[in-house]
A = this chain, B = another copy of it.
């Protein structure tokens, strides 16, 4: 084996293992969402998060991957449907003659690239899932996910990662603050506008009602799984074992997560009087989303500042969306949309020329607006496109099969109405038994006296 072949082999292992970590983020999203919502909708939420990756896989396999990465102008038109099209990437040992010019910088086999890009596409769809919880029909969500992953995400992605006009304008989004998180966030925002808030969330003339979640254990574990997954998301985006780069990306990713976590905790403590645990987790996620675009381009010091800012803005964003009466049960827009945009801009603010091949220093490093301009253009263009096309898709589905369950089903819970199955189905039986035991065996209050 030659060193070149060995490098491809080791890189492929790295790409797949980090892709597996990103895949596992589906579990994290499902748990965070279910935990922050009510018990009566938990099966539906979990089921959506299980099925959505299957939908994403098929959407991306049949159409998305080709649209996103095959050669072409406004979208990839050279092929790539059903993984067709010549590979001929460096991994296969000859000069590149394939149809995936935009992925030619990575030496691993085409199917490894597909694996890695697929799990990113899947992440985008799960972001939407959270925002529309507790009132949307199961079938309608599945249809939207297919549209998002087969069409909307790939086209926007083509412009940034597929060699499109934003890439040519110098825009840089290393791991997808824009491509993954903003696109998902805009799609979610369009969804909650069309869908409307949950019943009773914004009573006329009164403060918004707080709807309690049902399981902080899920929120904890889901948050930890997402944090873990981001160690695949960001360092894996190198698609090669570049030792200096992956180590630095891992460090800055973690630092931003940590300051996001801590600042959100302390800020919520100061602002709301208690260290709100759901904001702790959302602070971590905001720090992670914010460092996703700039992770290859900034210093550890900058990542600390980026995460710290995200820790404050996420708390305020939750308040802002509530003021706007946009009902997002899990704060997905606050985390992914707001900080997808913020992270994208951070490349233009904190970027270091030369890091990860960045062409210009960021504004705060004296580089002027050269990089920042390209970033802002992408924010606006991708935002306008994702929001508009998603809105059209939501409206079309609403017209076609309807979006929202009946008020009765919403009050009674989507689990019984849509899924025919409660999340904790033997609870009634057990509760009865326990009550009998309570009667027989009253609680031993002596245990509470010292």
Chain A interface (Cβ < 8 Å from any Cβ of B): 1-4, 6-14, 16-17, 19-21, 23-24, 26-27, 30-31, 34, 38-40, 42-43, 46-47, 49-51, 53-55, 57-58, 61, 82-83, 91, 108-112, 114-115, 118, 138, 199-200, 203, 209, 211-221, 223-225, 227-228, 231-232, 235, 241-244, 246-248, 250-251, 254-255, 257-259, 261-262, 265, 272-278, 280-281, 284, 300-301, 407, 411, 418-435, 437-438, 441-443, 446-450
**Shortest distance from the beta carbon of A443 to any chain B beta carbon, whole Å:** 5
Q: Once the chains bind, are A258 and B58 in contact (CB under 8 Å)?
A: yes
Give complex CA distance A367, B422 in Å: 48
Q: Once the chains bind, are A438 and B430 in contact (CB under 8 Å)?
A: no
Give complex CA distance A118, B250 in Å: 12
Give complex CA distance A284, B340 in Å: 32
Known contacts A109-B244, A112-B246; 20 additional CB pairs below 8 A are A6-B6, A9-B241, A12-B246, A12-B247, A26-B224, A31-B220, A38-B426, A38-B430, A39-B426, A46-B220, A46-B277, A54-B259, A54-B261, A57-B255, A83-B251, A91-B243, A203-B450, A214-B427, A221-B221, A431-B434
25 contacts between A and B (CB under 8 A): A6-B7, A23-B227, A24-B224, A34-B217, A40-B430, A46-B217, A46-B219, A50-B223, A51-B262, A53-B258, A54-B257, A108-B247, A110-B247, A111-B244, A111-B250, A112-B250, A200-B446, A212-B425, A214-B426, A214-B427, A221-B221, A275-B418, A407-B450, A428-B437, A429-B443
In the complex formed, the residue of B with least CB distance to A301 is B82
Q: Once the chains bind, are A428 and B420 in contact (CB under 8 Å)?
A: no
A47-B277, A216-B43, A261-B51 known; A9+B243 contact, CB < 8 A:
yes
Give complex CA distance A110, B431 in Å: 53
In the complex formed, the residue of B with least CB distance to A283 is B54
Q: Across the interface, which residues of B come within 8 angstroms of A224, CB to CB?
A: 24, 26-27, 30, 50
Which of B21, B199, B284, B447 sits near A209, CB closer than 8 Å? B447
Q: Once the chains bind, are A284 and B50 in contact (CB under 8 Å)?
A: yes
Give complex CA distance A199, B257 in Å: 36
List the 10 shortest-distance A-B pairs measured between CB atoms, nearest first: A274-B420, A212-B425, A27-B224, A111-B247, A54-B258, A12-B243, A46-B220, A112-B247, A9-B241, A54-B261
**Shortest distance from the beta carbon of A142 to any chain B beta carbon, whole Å:** 9
- Residue from A34, A40, A219, A450 having most chain B Cβ neighbours under 10 A: A450
Q: Once the chains bind, are B215 and A424 in contact (CB under 8 Å)?
A: yes
